[in-house]
Structure 1
Amino acid sequence: MSKFSYIDQLQDWEKEFHFFHPVTVRFSETDMFGHLNNTIPFTYFEEARISFFKSVGFMQEWVKPENETIPVVADLQCDYLKQVYFGETLKIFVKANKVGTSSVDLHYMAKRENNEICFVGRGTMVHMSKKTGKGSPWTEEMKQLLLHNR
């Protein structure tokens, strides 16, 4: 596997993931060559990210109209390792790699049923104030939830 700037030791990095969201590749997500369209992993990352944030209780708060903060994706990248095809079931793993004052660096890993890694990625999400449009600091409890519920 190629070296990626955000992965030091692949085996150690891989072991740090615990949370995953399952997806099955739909026909509409494949291209004329029969493999997963290169834009779709970003949709899978979104699904897994939302599922991850639901699991720690953040999404339920963010969607309330009276809530003062929202999650905003600041950047997102994907590195493709293996082709993926219609009908395959993947586990899209998510972990909080680093938590900043108001941001979190999330890492992603997609695995086939045979445990083979298909694609990996990372992205920064900012906890933002609806009123100011600027980063809103995580509480200490939120930081702990992010780091301990990978």
Structure 2
Amino acid sequence: MHSPRKLVQTSLIPIRWGDMDAYGHVNNTIYFRYMEQCRVEYLEALGFKVMPHGTAPVIINAACTFLVPLNYPGVVEVRMFCGHPGRSSVQTHFELRLHDDDTLYATGDAKIVWMDVDSGKSVPIPDTLRVELTN
């Protein structure tokens, strides 16, 4: 059974010609870039920026299940969902479709851990993010 999850971000990302591989479809590594872009847009919209000091989110694992190949041209619609936050981490889930197409092309998961940039140790998720995820 899946834990409850909340839709937090939808991003539209054009497929570039260079995203394709020798088989004529989007290379598997690019799916992780699509999910990353959606995640970054979400966190930046909440005011969290990549900083050389202080605290920041990092990914400790990432997975993708490829269901139907994506091809150029097209616009990928990436939907990001978050589970209930723990002390220092939150599980995220992704659905990738073509814009205006209900077909599910891929699903993904990534665990975000908040860390102290200087020490590399986990720290509690910021209160503003916790409130966002639990409301």
C-alpha separation between the residues in 2 aligned to 1:111 and 1:129?
34
Residue 120 to residue 147, structure 1, CA distance change in 2 (3 Å): farther
Q: Kindly tell me: are residues 109 and 57 of structure 1, through their superposed partners in 2, closer, same or farther at Cα, counting changes over 3 Å?
A: same
1:23 aligns with 2:10: no
Gapped runs of 5+ residues in structure 1? 1-6
TM-score normalised per structure 2 = 0.88
| Structure 2, gaps ≥5 residues long | none
Deviation at 1:18, TM superposition (A): 5.1
Identity %: 24
Q: How far did residue 136 of structure 1 move?
A: 0.9
Confirm whether residue 34 of structure 1 aligns to residue 19 of structure 2.
Answer: no
Who is 2:129 aligned against? 142
Q: What pairs up with 1:117-136 in 2 under 5 angstroms?
A: 117-136=104-123
Provide the aligned length of Structure 1 versus Structure 2: 134
User: What is the match of residue 101 of structure 2?
Assistant: 114
Query: 2:60 pairs with 65, 70, 74, which one?
Result: 74
In the alignment, what sits opposite 1:57? 47
Please provide the CA RMSD for this pair.
2.1
Say if 2:37 is the partner of 1:47: yes
- Larger CA deviation: 121-130 vs 134-143: 134-143
Name the amino acid aligned to 2:43: F
The superposition leaves residues 64-85 of structure 1 with CA deviations (integer Å, 9 ceiling, x where unpaired) of x5x5112111000001111110
Structure 1: 4+ residue segments shifted above 3 A: none
Query: Residues 126 and 18 from structure 1, CA distance in 2 versus in 1: closer, same or farther, beyond 3 angstroms?
Result: closer
Relative to its length, the structure with more helix (as a share) is 1
